[in-house]
Amino acid sequence: MSRQHGRKHLSRLRSSRYLAKLRLQAYAAVAGRFSARA
């Protein structure tokens, strides 16, 4: 049970890291679009 919980926590941490990277890419794309438009 403890091992399963640890695995779940690891996967959640990895997914949060992946979401952070996606958010950063989206923010960079939006910033680039705005700078290109201005």
pLDDT in tens, 1-38: 566 666 777 788 889 999 999 999 999 999 999 888 76
Closest by CA to 16, choosing from 27, 24, 4, is 24
What integer pLDDT is reported at residue 34 of this predicted model? 85
Give the DSSP letter of residue 1. Answer: -
Q: How far apart are CA 3 and CA 35, in angstroms?
A: 48
CB hemisphere CA count around 37 (13 angstroms): 6
